[in-house]
A and B are shown apart, each in its own frame.
Chain A
Amino acid sequence: NAGVTQTPKFQVLKTGQSMTLQCAQDMNHNSMYWYRQDPGMGLRLIYYSASEGTTDKGEVPNGYNVSRLNKREFSLRLESAAPSQTSVYFCASSRDSSTEAFFGQGTRLTVV
C-alpha cells in the first residue's frame, strides 16, 4: 500500500528553470494538497484541490501552479524557480475536509 507517492525526492535547479513535482495517491481520496516546509515556519499550504476538477490557492501560492490531473494525481509546477523557493515540498491527501491528511515523503528542492 503506497499511500502518497512524490517524485522526485531531490532536485537542484538553477534560478529561472522550471520543473514539475509529481504526486499520486492510491487511497481514493477526494482532496489533495501541496505544502512547503521551511525551518521554524511549520508547513504552509501552497495550493489544494478539494475534489477532482477543482483547485484553490492556499497561504503561499505565488510562483506556483497546480494541476489536478485526475482523482489520483496532483502536480505542482514552478515556472521560473527562485532561490526563495528552496524548501521541502510535501504532497498530502485526505478523504474530505476535517479528516486525516496523509503525507508523502517529500521533495527537497534547492534553487541556486
Chain B
Amino acid sequence: QQQVKQSPQSLIVQKGGISIINCAYENTAFDYFPWYQQFPGKGPALLIAIRPDVSEKKEGRFTISFNKSAKQFSLHIMDSQPGDSATYFCAATSSGTYKYIFGTGTRLKVLA
C-alpha cells in the first residue's frame, strides 16, 4: 500500500517531442505528489509538485496530470530538449508522516 509504481523504466524521445512518465499509488492518504529531476552525480531536485485538490499543474514545459479516482499521476514534458536528459522520480507523501515514497525512476534520453 505504500508503493509508488513508476513507468517506463527508460524513455528515448526525439528533440521537440513529448515525454510522458506515469506513476500509480495505492495509499489514498497521500496528499503531496512531487516530481524530482536528477542529473548524473547530483542530488534530486524538485521539478514540479501537485496536491490532490487540482487535476493539473503546469510550469513552463512541465505538466503534472493527476487522476484521483484512478490513483495515478503523470509528468508530461513538452518540446523535450537534450538538456532534459536525466532521471525522473515521482514521489508521494502524506501530512505528518515525513515519509516520501519514491518511484523507481525513469531514465529519459532526448536525442538531438
Interface residues of A (CB under 8 A from B): 4, 31, 33, 35, 40-45, 48, 50, 56, 58-59, 90, 92, 97-106
Contacts and interface: CB of A to CB of B under 8 A. Distances in A.
Interface of B: 6, 9, 31-32, 34, 36, 41-46, 49, 89, 93-100, 102-105
Nearest to B6: A42
A98 B102 contact: no
A45 B100 CA distance: 8
A98 B99 contact: no
Contact of A31 (B34, B42, B98): B98
A99 B34 CA distance: 9
Given A41-B104, A43-B89, A98 B44 contact: no
Given A103-B45, A106-B42, 7 more contacts: A42-B6, A42-B103, A90-B43, A103-B36, A103-B44, A105-B41, A105-B42
A33 B98 CA distance: 9
Nearest to B30: A98
A97 B98 contact: yes
A104 B43 contact: yes
Contacts of B89: 42-43
Contact of B49 (A58, A100, A102): A100
Contact of B104 (A40, A90, A98): A40
A32 B110 CA distance: 34
A48 B96 CA distance: 12
Nearest to B97: A97
